[in-house]
Structure 1
Amino acid sequence: MKTPNARLTALTSGDLARLQRDADELADLQAFLNLLPSGLLVEQLSDEELNRLSAIAEAPEETLCGPQILSWHNMSRRPKLIQTR
């Protein structure tokens, strides 16, 4: 009798549910980034940047008030292209 493939039994239904939640959260964050003129992709962000973006997406008004307004400005401005002569 063959033993089942270890790769097929390594994931549980809980693992799949967690992976689906993570994928849904990343899709929501990408949709939020798409609203900005920055052209960023979630795949390009570090873990720290993803955590900051999650906090901003959950409560943008609260997160970006006061000293955090610079973060919003930096995220939403369009990168300047380098012009050569």
Structure 2
Amino acid sequence: MPRDETDATESAAPARRLALRYWVALILAALAAMFVAQNRDRVSIHVLWVSVESPMWFILVIIFVMGLLIGLLLRRRRRRT
């Protein structure tokens, strides 16, 4: 078995996995955009003693950003062995 064939298959696998990851991210972004587009009604949000009226898409974006920040703050770092 020549070395060239094994090198070609090893380098092709990460490229395909990377492409799949980008496709999944693109599909999820499209679904999120459709969800936001369908939820443009104005809603009233009550948090403690504060009441805010805003478009639903804006509140959804704020909730998403808050979740992203919490996830980044609480993520675990991998230990190198």
Query: Which has the higher relative contact order, 1 or 2, with Cα contacts under 8 A spaced 6 or more apart?
Result: 1
| Structure-2-length-normalised TM-score | 0.34
Q: Which has the higher strand share?
A: 2
Q: Is the radius of gyration larger for structure 1 or structure 2?
A: 2
